[in-house]
Structure formats: structure tokens, C-alpha cells
């Protein structure tokens, strides 16, 4: 069984509080092997990783949604510590204009690093989706969002799983096992005794798990499209009340986005420091969700969520 697990290392907005650190999410994909991603890297992220008992050296890919300090200021420290711990493997840092900002960060100070920090620019224009990372069992996709500065959202999408149905195969006269099924999975179709067999003729498709992280954004079509039918949408909800137009999403707007995208569960994060009562926020979220059928949670630091 595979799973996507997210640990919230920081859930505040621009200014930290005693209970909420700056944004960062430690995401593990557990399949045939564990692979770790970091979504945003606010100030003190490495300390949060230590407190959570997680392993920062497992991180090979860091995805920055945008270059406001509360989302990237922890990068400098974590790079330095990785170097002190004798890291050798390259580290990939993704984000809008990544080459510009990663170059600045890696040039600060005198310490030389024993590993490569490789920036990966992410398209932040238009409405299209861009595949950034292709692994055996999942991929990471980005889409531009609306925040006043170049910004993107990220999606971790497990690949759909093909399950051969023995009854369907038997009805077509296929053997119980053999190379034919490998060919079908690899190519989608193959010839068998003069007949063309398609993968859909002998299998069922199990949709892969899907987790989406909005980063900071106003409501926008591109986010709704990226989040479509997500198992979990981690959503900017800086404000729990109606505000004059700002470059963020409020509670009502977040619920509307989740409904339009038809997500199963939404977790609200990037909470303004004006809100101090977790219980009250959870009550407001539950009331706002109403009859939508969507499970809505309010993130807190060190919350762990799994998609299994």
C-alpha cells in the first residue's frame, strides 16, 4: 500500500506566533521506497523538522511557491546545515524565477558547500500546468496562481494503477500470466493471436492519490483546475472573515474553491496572527463547510495528514 503523508511545519501567515511557525510542509511519498519533498521553507523550518523528529537530509527537492520571505527565509539555514552534515547529493530548488533567488542565497557568506544546489525555474504565466518532476510512482505538477508577485501552486499526483482483471483476461482467452500483461501496461495495447488487445479490455484503473498545495493566492481558475478531484487540498486561508480585496483567500472563498474543484478534504493554512483560538477557527470552518460534504480542517503546527 502506498501513501502520501504531509507534516505541517508552519501554518502562520507573514508574522510568526508562539504557536505557529512560517509556512513549510514536509511531504513523504511512501511507495516501493520513501521519497521526501519540502513545500516552502519559511524561517526556522529546520528547527521544526528537528522538533518533528523528521530527517531533513532525505529532502532532495524543495518547492517554493513564491519569494516572499515567510515562504523561503529558512532556505539559507537548511542549506548551511546540510553542508555541515556532509551532504553530497544534489538538491533541487523549484520556484518562479528560481535561478535568480537561489543564486543570491547560495552566494551569501563564506561557507563553501560540498553539494550542488540546482535551481529549477517554474512557469508562473498563463493558466497551463507544467510537469516539474517525474518519478516512477508519482509526479509533481505546477500551475500559476494569483498573488501580486510571481507565484505557483503544486500538485503531487500518484500515477494511476492498472489492475489486471483475471476474469476479463480469461474471457478473451489470455493466459493467467506472462509477458503479454507487461506489454499491455507499457504500451496500452498489443497483438495476441491475430487480435488487438487493449489494456482497458482486461483491467480496471485505480486513480492515483492527489495532494495539492495552493501557496498564497486569490481565487483563480488555474488553481481550481489543478485541484480538481484532489484527495487533499492544502489551501491559503489567511482570513476567516470578509476583507477588502487582498492577495489571499478568505474562508468563504476557500470553501467555494473546494466545491468547484470537487475535492474530498481541504486543510486551511497560512492563518493570520489575528486569529489565536484554534477551537474557534475549527468551529467557523465547520459551519462554513455546511452541507458541501467536504471535510474541512484547520492546520496547526506538526499536524500530520495521510492520503492512503
Q: Is 148 left (phi over 0), alpha (psi -120 to 50) or beta?
A: left
Active-site residue, from 19, 40, 60, 70: 70
- How far apart (Å, rounded) are the C-alpha atoms in residues 302 and 288? 24
Beta-strand runs (E) in 145-270: 152-158, 161-164, 189-192, 195-198, 203-206, 210-213, 232-236, 265-269
Rounded Cα distance, 303 and 299, in Å = 7
70 is a catalytic site residue: yes
Q: What share of the chain is helix, strand, coil (3-state, %, to 5)?
A: 25, 30, 40
CB-CB contact of 231 with 267 (8 Å) = no
Query: Which cell numbers in the block locate residue 120?
Result: 529549477
Catalytic residue numbers, as ranges: 70
Amino acid at each position: 500500500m502506498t501513501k502520501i503523508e504531509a507534516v505541517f511545519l508552519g501554518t502562520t501567515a507573514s508574522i510568526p506566533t508562539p504557536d505557529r511557525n512560517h509556512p513549510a510542509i514536509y511531504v513523504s511519498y511512501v511507495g516501493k521506497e520513501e521519497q521526501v519533498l519540502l513545500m516552502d521553507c519559511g524561517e526556522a523550518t529546520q528547527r521544526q523538522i528537528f522538533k518533528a523528529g523528521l530527517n531533513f537530509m532525505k529532502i532532495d527537492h524543495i518547492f517554493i511557491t513564491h519569494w516572499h520571505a515567510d515562504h523561503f527565509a529558512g532556505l539559507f539555514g537548511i542549506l548551511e546545515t546540510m553542508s555541515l552534515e556532509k551532504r553530497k547529493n544534489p538538491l533541487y530548488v523549484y520556484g518562479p524565477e528560481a535561478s535568480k533567488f537561489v543564486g543570491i542565497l547560495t552566494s551569501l557568506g563564506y561557507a563553501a558547500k560540498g553539494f550542488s544546489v540546482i535551481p529549477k525555474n517554474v512557469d508562473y504565466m498563463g493558466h497551463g500546468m507544467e510537469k516539474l518532476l517525474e518519478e516512477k510512482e508519482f509526479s509533481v505538477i505546477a500551475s500559476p496562481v494569483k498573488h501580486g508577485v510571481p507565484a505557483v501552486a503544486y500538485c503531487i499526483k500518484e500515477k494511476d494503477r492498472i489492475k489486471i482483471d483475471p476474469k476479463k483476461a480469461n474471457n478473451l482467452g489470455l493466459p493467467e500470466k506472462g509477458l503479454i500483461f507487461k506489454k499491455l501496461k507499457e504500451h496500452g495495447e498489443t497483438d495476441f493471436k491475430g487480435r488487438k488487445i487493449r489494456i482497458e479490455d482486461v483491467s480496471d484503473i485505480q486513480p492515483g492519490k492527489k495532494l495539492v498545495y495552493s501557496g498564497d493566492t486569490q481565487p483563480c481558475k488555474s488553481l481550481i483546475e489543478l485541484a480538481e478531484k484532489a484527495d487533499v487540498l492544502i489551501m491559503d486561508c489567511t482570513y476567516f472573515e470578509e476583507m477588502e480585496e487582498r492577495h489571499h483567500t478568505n474562508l468563504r472563498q476557500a470553501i467555494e474553491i473546494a466545491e468547484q474543484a470537487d475535492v474530498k478534504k481541504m486543510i486551511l493554512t497560512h492563518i493570520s496572527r489575528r486569529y489565536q483560538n484554534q477551537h474557534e477557527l475549527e468551529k467557523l470552518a465547520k459551519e462554513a463547510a455546511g452541507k458541501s460534504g467536504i471535510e474541512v480542517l484547520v492546520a496547526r503546527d506538526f499536524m500530520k495528514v495521510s492520503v492512503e
